[in-house]
């Protein structure tokens, strides 16, 4: 083996992972955010590094430590996440586990908005770029395997099938995030893996670390097969 080269099922592969929420500023002290601990995305990045890959993790604001052996790029907003993702390409495998804010305030106020005793002003929103769809539809330099996530609260598989087609990714990892499931912020996850040919795998409830390792093992198989 080459000096310094890593062994493992993803040896020699470049992997990009997004994780965590985004924060979309309203004013200097307030933001809009999604609920996301970053645990599942970080677990995937850690598992990919342990499998020998060269991993870049683009992470929104999270309270968990950086995974070992991974290059971490920290961002706040969806637009900054897209720019960091584009800068981190090319990659063989790209996994979009971040809970990206779908909308941002149309304008960020430079000064703190003050209560003034009258009705609060409505917040005007504009749509953020879709990072996954942007990468999945790249004409040049598209990663060979593009994986999306879907967090759904009902009709999980129906929504996931539609999302897989709409986004143009190769695989979609769907999970049920209805409050009863405790996925948000919790240590366990129940996922369904959907492929473009219609195949669906439903995995047992597993620790997010174990989900990360098993997903990475599947992605390595698929890359090796193709
Ligand atoms: N995603 C993204 N950029 C966005 C929105 C979503 O990269 N602006 C990615 C997520 O990281 C995830 C996938 O797209 O991999 C699906 O995200 P989700 O929020 O479930 O899908 P949306 O298309 O935003 O649909 P909705 O929230 O309306 O269900
Ligand atoms: Ca969304």
Q: How far is the CA of 114 from the centre of ligand 1 (A)?
A: 32
Q: Looking at the CA of 100, name the nearest ligand.
A: 1
Could you report the per-residue pLDDT of 133-158, keeping only the tens digit for each? Answer: 999 999 999 999 999 999 898 999 99
Candidate of 84, 93, 163, 178 to mutate for ligand 1, largest count of ligand atoms within 8 Å of Cβ? 163
Peptide bond into 159 cis (omega under 30): no
> Which residues, including other chains, have CB under 8 Å from residue 185's CB and lie 6 or more apart?
35, 37, 39
How far is residue 96's CA from residue 171's CA, in Å, rounded to a whole number?
11
Q: Which tokens belong to 177?
A: 């995030």
**Could you tell me the pLDDT band of residue 192, with boundaries at 50, 70 and 90?**
very high
State what percent of residues in the chain have pLDDT above 70: 96
For residue 193, which of 137, 131, 133, 145 has the smallest C-alpha distance? 145
Given a cut of 50, whether residue 1 has pLDDT beyond it is no
Q: Which residues line ligand 1 (CB under 6 A)?
A: 18, 78, 96, 98, 100, 102, 128, 130-132, 148-151, 163
Given a cut of 70, whether residue 124 has pLDDT beyond it is yes
Check if 34 is active-site: yes
Q: Nearest residue CA, atom 8 of ligand 1?
A: 130
Q: Nearest residue CA, atom 16 of ligand 1?
A: 150
Q: What is the pLDDT of residue 187?
A: 81
């Amino acid at each position: 083996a080459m000096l310094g080269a890593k062994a493992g099922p993803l040896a020699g592969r470049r992997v990009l992972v997004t994780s965590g929420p985004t924060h979309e500023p309203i004013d200097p002290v307030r933001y809009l955010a999604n609920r996301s601990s970053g645990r599942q995305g970080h677990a995937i990045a850690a598992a990919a590094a342990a499998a020998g890959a060269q991993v870049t993790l683009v992470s929104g604001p999270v309270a968990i430590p950086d995974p070992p052996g991974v290059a971490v790029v920290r961002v706040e907003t969806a637009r900054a996440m897209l720019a960091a993702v584009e800068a981190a390409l090319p990659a063989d495998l790209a996994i979009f586990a971040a809970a990206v804010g779908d909308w941002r305030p149309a304008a960020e106020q430079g000064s703190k908005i003050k209560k003034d005793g009258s009705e609060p002003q409505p917040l005007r929103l504009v749509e953020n770029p879709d990072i996954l769809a942007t990468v999945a539809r790249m004409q040049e330099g598209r990663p060979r395997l593009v994986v999306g996530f879907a967090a759904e609260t009902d009709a999980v598989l129906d929504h996931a099938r539609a999302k897989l087609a709409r986004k143009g990714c190769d695989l979609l990892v769907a999970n049920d995030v209805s409050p009863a499931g405790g996925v948000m912020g919790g240590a366990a996850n129940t996922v369904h893996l959907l492929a473009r040919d219609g195949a669906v795998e439903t995995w047992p409830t597993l620790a997010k670390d174990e989900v990360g390792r098993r997903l990475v093992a599947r992605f390595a198989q698929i890359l090796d097969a193709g």
